[in-house]
Structure 1
């Protein structure tokens, strides 16, 4: 069975999910990262935080889905 990995990099968190071939969700995870507001109406975050959160989320979801379903 093939599985599909989706990554959503949002304003304050990254969300990751794995779907099967029929579109059923096999697992989801979300990791937050810091967003700073140096001025009213501004939002800033460090791209390094995006990367770290993405790696953490992908590693986390791989623990939820049996490895036999993941093709590398």
Structure 2
């Protein structure tokens, strides 16, 4: 899971390149969707007893990402 600052930079660059800012709904969806790959990977780590790399990142960033989704 990339750092929050990297995700913010990506979303800003994406909006800039498309020439239009995200609507509030689109930005909410983008932030909420940023959790999906980490959730999927954390599930696999738990199921297969792998080191909790994605789970640790998820636990460290989930609240901040969900706060951005609700902003």
Q: Same fold (TM over 0.5)?
A: no
Q: Normalized per residue, which structure has more helix?
A: 2
TM-score, normalised on structure 1?
Answer: 0.30
Higher relative contact order (Cα pairs below 8 Å, separated by 6+ residues): 2
Q: How does the TM-score come out when normalised to structure 2?
A: 0.30
- Greater Rg by CA: 1
Q: Name the structure where strand makes up a greater proportion of residues.
A: 1
